[in-house]
Structure 1
Amino acid sequence: MRKEELLQKLRANTKVQYDMPAMDDLHGITYADPYQQFAEMTKTVGGRIVEARKTDDLNQIIRNLYPNAKIFASNLPYISIAQRNPDSVEEAQDLNGTDVGVVEGQLGVAENACIWVPQTMKEKAVCFISEYLVIILDKQNVVNNMHEAYRRIEMDPRYNFGTFISGPSKTADIEQALVMGAQAARGVTVLVLS
């Protein structure tokens, strides 16, 4: 059966038609305390929240979180413990073997613990190839839901790419056994700054 024939049959058998809902009326779920919901959801999806002040020594906090890590990668100017910089490596595979990648998240979403991480580095592989990922997020940048998030997303014009990350990578496809770090980081820490 061709596509047009199928569509004609569907139209002929449609008894009642409804107008599409107005999409501008969609606001999504809201929370009394979006940050508290975000923190709870982050734990639910397997991540962890660490709170700090903007004036704290973030390098020492990250080093203390991962005392056995040998290779840190980041292009953030205030992360001095990084031995690898995703802006200066020759190619993405040069980031292979990174124990901890450190990136900035633009905003967090309370309903599902997603964090929008715009690509602000040459090699975005740091977000996926690192064994563990630290996402630095300003506490004021937590929104209620994905509707709010999509309205606030900003792209770096150099790269025009970003991704939502929610906790560590996980899958239960193989024999229904949960495997962490199947396609990306085995662990994600959200370092929330206030």
Structure 2
Amino acid sequence: MQNSRDRILAAVAANKPDLLPLPEIPVFSPETEDASFILQKFHATATTIGSKIFMVKDFEEIKAMVSEQFREGRIVTTIPELADIAETDLKTIPDPHTLENIELLIMRALFGVAENSAVWVTEDLMQQRAAPFICQHLAVVLNAADIVPTMHEAYERIGSADYGFATFIAGPSKTADIEQSLVLGAHGPRSMTLFVLE
């Protein structure tokens, strides 16, 4: 004798619609896809949502800026080129709770999106899923050539690759539901810095 759950599931299974191919979604490109225009849009959007953005030539310039801005506190990076100014290899940390005192995390992004200044980061770049959300300040390094105009291009670039875990991150955390005023760093990193390698 079937219980009500089994009857419901059987009815759903018996009434499944035919599988259809996914629709073709056009890419809505901006009027211009000039690299300098895309970079300017990314810069303007990032600034508007509370991020700090710096154009840098190399990792030495990043090191100098980090050393100047963060003289105290725990600095962690997942980028081998920055190993001499920060702790590395989060993969060896078994308990993510030990990351709670990170002052600054510096990691790479695969690419950025100009229309909302989001960056796409995968688990292998984070090394620990909690890391970019538990730190006090987050810094992300990406190449200027890896900035796409819109989310349409971003999803095309992601494609059907199997990342396990990945996410878009845009700006510091924020909320505007308290007395109708914007509060940055409400439930995650208090600041987000973008280092764009020219």
Query: Normalized against structure 2, the TM-score is what?
Result: 0.78
Pair 92,46 (structure 1): closer, same or farther in 2 beyond 3 Å: same
* Correspondent of 1:153 among 131, 138, 158: 158
Q: Which residue of 1 aligns with 2:146?
A: 141
Q: What RMSD over aligned residues (CA atoms) do the two structures have, in Å?
A: 2.2
Aligned to 1:93, the other structure's residue is in SS state helix
Q: Following superposition, which runs of at least 4 residues in structure 1 exceed 4 angstroms of deviation?
A: 154-157
Q: Which ranges of structure 1 fall in alignment gaps of 5 or more residues?
A: 1-21
Aligned to 1:27, the other structure's residue is in SS state coil
2:52 corresponds to 1:48: yes
Partners in 1 of 2:150 and 2:77 — Cα distance?
A: 28
The letter for the 2-side match of 1:148 is E
Pair 136,89 (structure 1): closer, same or farther in 2 beyond 3 Å: same
Q: Which ranges of structure 2 fall in alignment gaps of 5 or more residues?
A: 1-22
Partners in 2 of 1:104 and 1:156 — Cα distance?
A: 18
User: How far has the Cα of 1:78 moved from its partner?
Assistant: 1.3
Q: Is the 8 A contact 1:119 1:155 kept in 2?
A: no
Identity of aligned residues (%): 31
Aligned to 1:40, the other structure's residue is in SS state helix
The letter for the 1-side match of 2:166 is G
Q: Which residue of 2 aligns with 1:113?
A: 117
Q: Is the 8 A contact 2:27 2:153 kept in 1?
A: no
More helix by proportion, 1 or 2?
2
User: How far has the Cα of 1:156 moved from its partner?
Assistant: 8.5
The letter for the 2-side match of 1:75 is T
Partners in 2 of 1:193 and 1:27 — Cα distance?
A: 27
Q: Which residue of 1 aligns with 2:26?
A: 25
Partners in 1 of 2:173 and 2:80 — Cα distance?
A: 27
Q: Is the 8 A contact 1:130 1:185 kept in 2?
A: yes
CA shift digits 1:117-161 (9 cap, x unpaired): 11214312111111110000101001100000111127986x611
CA shift digits 1:42-74 (9 cap, x unpaired): 10010011111136343222222x234320112
User: How far has the Cα of 1:170 moved from its partner?
Assistant: 0.3
